[in-house]
Amino acid sequence: MTVTAEAVKLLRERTGAGLMECKKALLETNGDLDAAAELMRKAGLAKADKKASRVAAEGVIVIERTADGKRAAIVEVNCETDFVAREQDFQRFAADVAKLVLEQRPASLDDLLGLSLPSSSSVDEARRALIAKIGENIGVRRFQVLEAPAVVGAYLHGTRIGALVAMTTGDEAVAKDIAMHVAALNPAYVSTGEVPKEEIERERAIFLEQAKSDPKTAGKPQDIVDKIVDGKIRKWLNEITLLGQPFVKDDKQTVEQYLSKAGGEVSAIVRYEVGAGIEKKQEDFAAEVMKQVHGQ
Indicate if the pLDDT at residue 290 is higher than 60.
Answer: no
CA dist 133 to 45, 89, 221, Å? 11, 10, 69
Confidence band of 44 (pLDDT split at 50, 70, 90): low
What phi and psi, each to the nearest 5 degrees, are found at residue 42? -65, -35
Identify the pLDDT of residue 144. 98
Which domains are present in the chain? 5-46 (1.10.8.10), 52-147 (3.30.479.20)
Burial status of residue 227 (CB atoms within 10 A of its CB: 0-12, 13-18, 19 or more) = exposed
Handedness of CA 252, 254, 260, 262 (dihedral sign): positive
Q: Concatenate the DSSP letters of all residues of 197-256 into one string.
A: HHHHHHHHHHHHHHHHH-TTTTTS-HHHHHHHHHHHHHHHHHHHBTTTSEETTEEEEEHH
What is the C-alpha to C-alpha distance for residues 98 and 105, in angstroms, rounded to an integer? 10
Indicate if the pLDDT at residue 33 is higher than 70.
Answer: yes
Is residue 262 within 8 A of residue 170, CB to CB? The reply is: yes
What is the C-alpha to C-alpha distance for residues 128 and 244, in angstroms, rounded to an integer? 44
Residues pairing with 165 in the sheet: 153, 269
SS3 62: strand
Q: How do beta strands 139-147 and 151-157 pair? A: unpaired
Indicate if the pLDDT at residue 292 is higher than 60.
Answer: no
**Across 2-11, 73-82, 203-212, 249-258, least confident range:** 2-11
Residue of 257, 90, 268, 264 lying closest to 165 (CA atoms): 268
Is residue 189 within 8 A of residue 242, CB to CB? The reply is: yes
Average pLDDT, the chain: 89
**Across 34-38, 57-61, 256-260, least confident range:** 34-38
Q: In what order do the strands lie in the sheet containing 161-169?
A: 151-157, 161-169, 265-273
What phi and psi, each to the nearest 5 degrees, are found at residue 83? -65, -50
Q: Which tens digit of pLDDT belongs to each residue from 157-195? A: 999 999 999 999 999 999 999 999 999 999 999 999 999
Q: In what order do the strands lie in the sheet containing 139-147?
A: 58-65, 71-79, 139-147
Q: Which tens digit of pLDDT belongs to each residue from 101-115? A: 999 999 999 999 999
Is residue 180 within 8 A of residue 156, CB to CB? The reply is: no
